[in-house]
Structure 1
């Protein structure tokens, strides 16, 4: 009896100890879970829905505002550049008229025009032509390449002058001068005295003349910056240089020697013709001297 009761009590204590250990283990697990919940989800839950909404709203609103400002802000455009382009080309070709026609076609196909043109021949009979072409700025390089391909390029001089500041200055002065002319006209409409009207008319005439001068400068700059100028010089191949590549023959040497001989005889004849008058006079003087010279032997024999 006592033994069995002790064994039951021991079993109960063992079960109690196991249950207590399990309870402590479960309590520790539930405490760790709650801590994790408080540290993670609790903090998130601590934020009120309206506050979270306001916070998200501010962030979202700030993002939309930044995007909106970025969308409304236009990129700064660089100032338009105004450049005057000019070029001078010298090309040696076999056929000047044909090359000149190709140059005209290249300029006209590019939307340009043909300006001054002149043709002449040098002492050797070689034909030369000079033509001024005006082509749009966008087609400038293409036309230059086409012109260089008409023959052998001898010389090229291309220049680019930036006149952006000058264009902006003239535009500003034109606007100011127009406003000045408008103010003078308003004063003329309000003037009642004849002297005032006469004075204002003189001032208006002066300001209108200045405005027309500025407008002429503006038109000239616009024309020179929109159209490039190309001056093309075409020359034929030298015949002498082409023939000089051949080796001289016996007939060439004989012909050259004969030319030298004839030239030498010509110069000898010229020299003799120049000396002949002096030789004739000298001969006459010698002859007179010889006739007037006394006979030395006769004088000695006739003496007593």
Structure 2
């Protein structure tokens, strides 16, 4: 019995050892297959490029920077790193149009800015309107306030509008996309250097041209943002006037005085304009006066002629009636 038990125990141990070795064999074979499959492309030297997978990989590489920029709220960014576009609009009155225009152009050049657009209208031969100027200037952002103060000293600012646009998020977004495309471009160049098949080379070059085109667009956007941020836009509408708009006056007496003086000035200006109009149009007035006089004289003559024929006709009829009466009387006398 003891021998039988020992034999059974040995058999059980042998079966357990066989089962353990059988379970471990598939794992080792599968691991070997996986490692051989992973090493096979490297050993064969073939290069395969998938644009979608490459973009995903580049996006994962650029994701940390983009997430950092997106995660940083606006209030954490310092003012120096913000991308702010400032636009200022000014309505200006002046009594001396030429002097003001020249001083503004000199001030723009002295501050290191430039005129983006300029337009002058008015003061034509047939127009009584005053001159008007529209100027769009680009001034360095650090010198805009000084320029506005200078314009207020040499002219009368009647309207001022100031606006600021924050493009920090757009700028960071474009910058992160540009970095991601640069990384992808470097990887494409490495793959292109190792490529041997014609299909792979054509595919890589097509993707490279697309990446370079997108990079140029993003670089152009960044340059535009930088220019708009570094140089603020100041728009000036300059009008030539005969009298400058006075400051707001609150007392009733000052308002009455200002209104009365403006009325007197308007009357004087109206008389001047009428005198100028009369002198300018005097030749036309003389021609029309002569024509009207001739027409009146002709009409009077025609009327006189018409009135003169009527009495003659009446006289003829009266003579005929008198003659008939005399003939009738003579006939009666003869009968008697």
Match of 1:100 in 2: 101
Given the alignment, which residue of 166, 179, 182 partners 1:178? 182
Given the alignment, which residue of 129, 146, 150 partners 1:142? 146
SS in 1 for 2:188: helix
Q: Give the 3 Å change call, closer, same or farther, for CA 192–131 of structure 1 in structure 2.
A: same
1:159 aligns with 2:163: yes
* 1:263-290, Cα deviation, whole Å (9 max, x unpaired): xxxxxxxxxxxxxxxxxxxxxxxxxxxx
Match of 1:84 in 2: 85
Given the alignment, which residue of 213, 220, 227 partners 1:216? 220
How far off its partner does 1:226 sit? 0.9
- TM-score scaled by structure 1? 0.55
How far off its partner does 1:243 sit? 8.2
Match of 2:203 in 1: 199
- TM-score scaled by structure 2? 0.50
| Number of matched pairs | 222
SS in 2 for 1:159: strand
CA contact (8 A) 2:131 2:240 kept: yes
Question: Residues 1-304 of structure 1: matches in 2 within 5 Å?
Answer: 78-79=77-78, 80-121=81-122, 123-238=127-242, 245-246=264-265
CA contact (8 A) 1:91 1:150 kept: no
Higher radius of gyration, 1 or 2: 1
Distance 1:99 1:124 in 2: 21
User: How much is the aligned-residue C-alpha RMSD, in angstroms?
Assistant: 4.7
Unaligned runs of 5+ in 2: 1-75, 246-260, 279-336
* 1:163-192, Cα deviation, whole Å (9 max, x unpaired): 111111111111111111111111111110
Q: Give the 3 Å change call, closer, same or farther, for CA 109–248 of structure 1 in structure 2.
A: closer
Distance 1:238 1:231 in 2: 23
CA contact (8 A) 1:121 1:128 kept: yes
Distance 2:143 2:266 in 1: 47
Unaligned runs of 5+ in 1: 1-76, 260-304
